[in-house]
């Protein structure tokens, strides 16, 4: 007598209903197991009658006597079986004689592979037939026990023979045809993906990306870069391919993280690439602000607070940490204010004697230093000593000063400091679109605009990229030498035409 297990058994093996008590009977189960199969023991046991349940099942057998069970488990996948004797207490089990690969555990007899013997089962002719419950066992990762490359699998079996003396009184055979489950092939990946890890709660980042597809190169030459928002995973409609003459890089702008910049991003010809980027924390930028008196200190606090908020909101990736001090707090020299004044001309257009300031106690090297002076000027960053009246990179006519030194005068407004730090971070010269007055695509709300009464509130992604990466003949953005010296800078003047390395200056945020 045989049975088949209906359906595929992927996570839990079950048995079909028992065939009832019989003499000399057997069963067969077809089982498929998956690669990651971790099965428990069978949910319920298969009953095996103990003794002679049929009249004259064993002519010539002694009328009474203890039974002996001889159990053989021949298996590659099964690890053994459990046998529970109906109505037997643990003390009754302990009186049995167990041999071979078997042992008693609680209320069951644990059977291992190979042969086992159980002696001492009482039997009396005409008495009710006892029942044993047999449960096969499998270990975790059973599928790994199947022979590799054999879809037909293996056959394991359990045989239970019962003897009265030399006479066979009952036989049970259970065959297991075990094979791997057929799995439909995985569908091919549908797209390439960019995954961004570590995005802070509530943040939405903006990605500027150069890459090549089968139909176009999107790197700013002919076709603009990709510019899109992301909250973690972006799926691309086209396969992204190796560069092959097309720039492949990613810049990620965030309100709560530093700008992430990766060049030579390694997309492949295979569809389904997943490129993962992990964001870094905001860059805390110390800003040392030097003032003459408490009134100046109060104004300076308002200015740097506004600059901090504007740079965070525009995804520059920096957070200004202000340290405002009066000159008298760090210097006993009564001439200290005049030393500061001597660093700028009366019109606020040319930086003069900077070395005495840099040698003084009211200067901190490799950080932004902002000096408030009692002169009728707005602001002047000293990266270029004289403010060029033309677009030029001539360091003879326009010698370098120190971009870490900025002056703020008495007619500054609430965004002057934010504007001057823009120059310190490489948006210069003013006549090379460092100032955005009259530049197509810009309006008076841009922080680098100098005229008008509209509040200045915005940088563009092209400006933000340059402020994080730019190098020029006057030293480039101070963010790199001051705070991220390991970054390799790139020359992208504000007026550089859009290219594979320099994004368009005026492109708006998505």
* Domains of the chain in sequence order: 25-180 (2.60.40), 193-278 (no CATH), 284-483 (3.40.390)
375 Cβ neighbours under 8 A, 6+ residues apart: 341, 344, 346, 348, 407, 409, 410
Residue 27 has pLDDT above 70, yes or no: yes
User: Taking residues 264-282, what's their average pLDDT?
Assistant: 93
More confident position, 165 or 315? 315
User: Taking residues 438-461, what's their average pLDDT?
Assistant: 93
Q: How confident is the model at residue 131 (pLDDT cuts 50, 70, 90)?
A: confident
Looking up tokens 């972006």 gives: 234
Handedness of CA 237, 238, 239, 240 (dihedral sign): negative
Which two structure tokens, joined as six digits, stand for 29?
Answer: 């189960």
460 Cβ neighbours under 8 A, 6+ residues apart: 442, 446, 505, 506, 507, 508, 509
User: Taking residues 191-204, what's their average pLDDT?
Assistant: 93
Q: What is the dihedral of CA 55, 60, 65, 70, to 10 degrees?
A: -90
Residue among 71, 67, 69 at smallest CA distance from 101: 71
Render pLDDT for 483-497 as a digit per residue (tens, 0 to 9).
Answer: 999 999 999 999 999
Handedness of CA 33, 37, 40, 41 (dihedral sign): positive
User: Taking residues 161-174, what's their average pLDDT?
Assistant: 87
Residue 33 has a pLDDT of 72
Residue 7 has pLDDT above 70, yes or no: no
Entry pTM: 0.67
Which two structure tokens, joined as six digits, stand for 305?
Answer: 């607070």
| Pairing verdict, β 274-278 and 217-218 | unpaired
Task: State how far Cα 148 lies from the chain centre.
Answer: 34
24 DSSP 8-state letter: S
Instruction: List Cα–Cα distances, 165 to 116, 169, 195, 317, in angstroms.
Output: 17, 10, 73, 88
Tell me if residue 168 falls in helix, strand or coil. Answer: strand
- E strand intervals along 88-204: 97-105, 108-121, 130-138, 154-164, 167-180, 193-197
Task: State how far Cα 263 lies from the chain centre.
Answer: 19
Residue among 321, 318, 328, 342 at smallest CA distance from 294: 328
Asked which of 81-85, 146-150, 270-274 is least confident by mean pLDDT, the reply is: 146-150
Which two structure tokens, joined as six digits, stand for 499?
Answer: 């290219």
Render pLDDT for 28-44 as a digit per residue (tens, 0 to 9).
Answer: 877 777 654 545 445 66
Residue 251 neighbours by CB distance under 10 Å:
22
Secondary structure element (H or E) that encloses residue 27, with its range: strand 25-33
Residue 325's Cβ-count burial label (10 Å; 0-12, 13-18, 19+) is middle
Q: How confident is the model at residue 308 (pLDDT cuts 50, 70, 90)?
A: very high
Residue 21 has a pLDDT of 42
Looking up tokens 């555990």 gives: 105
Q: Buried (b) or exposed (e) across 343-379, using 16+ Cβ within 10 A?
A: bbbeebeebeebeebeebebbeeebbbbbbbebebbb
More confident position, 481 or 106? 481
How many helices (DSSP H) and strands (DSSP E) are in the chain? 8, 22
Q: How confident is the model at residue 210 (pLDDT cuts 50, 70, 90)?
A: very high
Secondary structure element (H or E) that encloses residue 275, with its range: strand 274-278
Share of the chain above pLDDT 70, in %: 86
> CA 33, CA 42: separation in Å to the nearest integer?
14
Residue 220 has pLDDT above 80, yes or no: yes
Q: Buried (b) or exposed (e) across 415-444, using 16+ Cβ within 10 A?
A: bbbbbbbbbbbbbbbbebbbbbeebeebee
Contact (CB, 8 A) for 198 and 279: yes
User: Taking residues 381-386, what's their average pLDDT?
Assistant: 98
Instruction: List Cα–Cα distances, 302 to 194, 376, 413, in angstroms.
Output: 40, 19, 10
Residue 167 has a pLDDT of 85
Looking up tokens 């870094």 gives: 280
């Amino acid at each position: 007598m045989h049975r088949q297990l209906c359906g595929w058994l992927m996570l839990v093996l079950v048995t079909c209903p028992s065939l009832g008590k019989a003499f000399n009977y057997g069963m067969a189960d077809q089982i498929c197991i998956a690669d990651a199969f971790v099965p428990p023991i069978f949910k319920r046991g298969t009953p095996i009658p103990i003794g002679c349940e049929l009249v004259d099942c064993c002519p010539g057998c002694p009328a009474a006597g203890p039974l002996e069970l001889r159990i053989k488990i021949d298996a590659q996948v099964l690890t053994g079986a459990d046998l529970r004797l109906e109505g037997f207490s643990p003390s009754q089990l302990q009186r049995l004689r167990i041999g071979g690969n078997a042992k008693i555990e609680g209320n069951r007899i644990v059977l291992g592979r190979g042969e086992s013997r159980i002696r001492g089962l009482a039997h009396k002719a005409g008495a009710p037939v006892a029942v044993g419950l047999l449960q096969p066992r499998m270990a975790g990762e059973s599928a790994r026990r199947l022979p590799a490359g054999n879809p037909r699998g293996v056959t394991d079996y359990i045989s239970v023979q019962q003897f009265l003396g030399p006479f066979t009184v009952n036989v049970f055979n259970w065959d297991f045809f075990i094979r791997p489950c057929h799995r439909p092939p995985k569908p091919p990946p549908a797209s390439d993906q960019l995954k961004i890890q570590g995005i802070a709660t509530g943040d939405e980042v903006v990605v500027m990306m150069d890459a090549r597809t089968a139909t176009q190169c999107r790197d700013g030459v002919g076709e603009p870069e990709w510019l899109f928002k992301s909250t973690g995973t972006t799926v691309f409609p086209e396969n992204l391919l190796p560069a092959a003459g097309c720039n492949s890089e990613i810049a990620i702008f965030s309100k709560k993280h530093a700008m992430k910049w990766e060049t030579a991003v390694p997309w492949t010809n295979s569809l389904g690439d997943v490129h993962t980027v992990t964001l870094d924390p905001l860059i805390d930028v110390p800003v040392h602000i030097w003032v003459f008196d408490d009134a100046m200190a109060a104004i300076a606090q308002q200015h740097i607070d506004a600059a901090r908020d504007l740079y965070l909101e525009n995804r520059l990736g920096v957070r200004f940490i202000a340290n405002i001090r009066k000159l008298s707090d760090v210097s006993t020299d009564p001439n200290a204010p005049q030393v500061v004044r001597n660093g700028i001309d009366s019109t606020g257009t040319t930086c003069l004697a900077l070395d005495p300031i840099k040698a003084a106690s009211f200067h901190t090297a490799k950080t932004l230093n902002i000096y408030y002076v009692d002169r009728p000027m707005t602001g002047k960053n000293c990266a270029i000593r004289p403010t060029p009246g033309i677009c030029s990179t001539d360091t003879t006519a326009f010698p370098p000063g120190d971009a870490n030194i900025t002056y703020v005068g008495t007619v500054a407004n609430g965004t002057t400091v934010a504007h001057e730090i823009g120059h310190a971070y490489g948006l210069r010269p003013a006549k090379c679109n460092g100032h955005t007055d009259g530049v197509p695509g810009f309006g008076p709300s841009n922080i680098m605009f100098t005229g008008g009464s509209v509040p200045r509130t915005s940088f563009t992604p092209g400006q933000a990229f340059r402020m994080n990466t730019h190098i020029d003949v006057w030293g480039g953005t101070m963010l790199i030498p001051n705070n991220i010296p390991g970054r390799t800078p790139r020359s992208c003047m504000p007026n550089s035409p859009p290219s594979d390395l320099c994004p368009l200056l005026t492109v708006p945020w998505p």
